[in-house]
Amino acid sequence: MAEPTAYRTDGDPDACRADDAPGPYPAGDGAGGCRAGDEAGGYRADDGPGGYRAGGGLRAYRMVAAMWIRSTMAYRASFALTLVTSFCVTFFDFVVILLMFGQVRGLGGFSFAEVAFLYGTTGTAFGIADLTMGSLQRMGRRIRDGSLDVFLLRPAPLLAQVAADKFAVRRLGRVLQGLLVLVWSLVLLRGEVAWSWGKVLMVPGMVACGAVIFMAVMVLGASALFWLQDAAEVTNSFTYGGNTLLQYPPTVFAQDLVKGVVYVVPLAFVNWLPALYVLGRPAPAGVPSWAAFAAPPVALVCCGAAALAWRAGVRSYRSTGS
């Protein structure tokens, strides 16, 4: 099956060996043509009330992820190599910004330290989301070849299983790189920003909320795969594209685009709005200044939307039957 070129921004080494990795999942032995909604309904009934379900999901996620970590650690040298490469891939990303600042003193009125701060916050948030939910991208393939059926038969929430599928510790490289740039920018900014407790707490807060927003976008994108298996790349434009967008100051972009990422796809809450507050700059495009503190509720709303979309997707799933 040719997977037409995608934005594999972490150069995913698992991308091509879909089903024969040393994993526990047999490929393509799904029951012929079963209607997924029934299964989904079936285990949902056993799962009981919401709190228990979320706990069960986390437990399932941990178990599947731990298994993949053990399998990765069987090849330690290979693991170390891919971790280093993953780190370098994202580092090159930052080299571009370094090269730009080799030519100019400011970009859109922002200094190097400020752009590095934007880069570090979105990079870390996106890295965490990619580490935990990055595997969702490959679900289109599982839908196409029918191996998703196996997941549906297991007594564990589907989302947890698919998200932890082929859990790749090497994606930590991206998180580490983002953190490194973030720390560097904080060192550069320590004298320039009038730090208060609110601003200090805002930094970890925005990374956490940003990660949740990115995760919700990834789940939303994966939900769409139930209807359009080949459309995985659209999600990339919001995740990888959003990450690239948020590395640069909002003053660089057209105001309509900025409004779009505030009101339509609320990526601006990942770092732009809270970061502008930390940096003591006005919010863009007529956005009220309290919006800097709105990231947690926005993240919650995103999660709600993602949950609804996922549910609708699972209900409409029909196996290929192969």
Partner 1 sequence: MLRLYATVAAGGFRRHATYRVATLAGLFTNTVFGFVFSYTYIALWAERPQLGGYSMADALAYVWIGQALITVCGLMGGGFEDELMERIRTGDIAVDLYRPADLQAWWCAANAGRSAYQLLGRGAVPLLIGALAFGFTLPDDPAAWTAFLLAVVLGSFVSFALWYLVAMSAFWLLDGQGVVQVAWLTGLFFSGMLLPLNVFPGALGEIARALPWAALLQVPADVYLGRYDGGGGLARAYGFQLGWLALLLAAGRAAQAAATRKVVVQGG
Q: Does 3 bind partner 1 (CB under 8 A)?
A: yes
CA neighbor of 109 nearest in space, from 296, 281, 299, 313 = 281
Spatial distance between the Cα atoms of 169 and 68, rounded to a whole number of angstroms: 9
Spatial distance between the Cα atoms of 49 and 215, rounded to a whole number of angstroms: 23
Which stretch, 8-16, 30-38, 41-49, 158-166, contacts partner 1 (CB under 8 A)?
Answer: 8-16
The one-letter amino acid code at 68 reads W
Instruction: Sketch the per residue contact string, 93 through 132, with partner 1: x for CB under 8 A, - otherwise.
Output: x-xx--xx-xxxxxxx------------------------
Q: In sequence order, what DSSP letters do the residues of 221-280 get, joined into one string?
A: HHHHTTT-TTTHHHHHHHHHHHHHHHTS-GGGS-HHHHHIIIIIS-GGGTTHHHHHHHTT
Q: Which of residues 247-266 bind partner 1 (CB under 8 A)?
A: 248, 251-254, 257
How far apart are CB 293 and partner 1 at their closest, in Å?
A: 27
Residue 223 falls in which region: left (phi positive, over 0), alpha (psi -120 to 50) or beta: alpha
How far apart are CB 190 and partner 1 at their closest, in Å?
A: 26
Spatial distance between the Cα atoms of 135 and 168, rounded to a whole number of angstroms: 8
Q: Which is nearer to partner 1, 19 or 29 (CB)?
A: 19
For tokens 């650690």, what's the residue? 73
Q: Which of residues 72-91 bind partner 1 (CB under 8 A)?
A: 78, 81-82, 85, 88-89
Cβ neighbours of residue 188 closer than 8 Å, sequence gap 6 or more: 112, 113, 116
Q: Does 237 bind partner 1 (CB under 8 A)?
A: yes
Both structure tokens of 149: 């059926």
How far apart are CB 122 and partner 1 at their closest, in Å?
A: 13
3-state secondary structure of 318: strand
| DSSP conformation class of 303 | H
Which stretch, 54-62, 182-190, 224-232, 305-313, contacts partner 1 (CB under 8 A)?
Answer: 224-232
Which stretch, 121-129, 181-189, 228-236, 291-299, contacts partner 1 (CB under 8 A)?
Answer: 228-236
Q: Which is nearer to partner 1, 238 or 277 (CB)?
A: 238
Spatial distance between the Cα atoms of 276 and 283, rounded to a whole number of angstroms: 6
Q: Which is nearer to partner 1, 66 or 100 (CB)?
A: 100
Q: Does 233 bind partner 1 (CB under 8 A)?
A: yes
Binding site for partner 1 (CB under 8 A): 2-8, 11, 13-17, 78, 81-82, 85, 88-89, 92-93, 95-96, 99-100, 102-108, 228-234, 236-238, 241, 244-245, 248, 251-254, 257
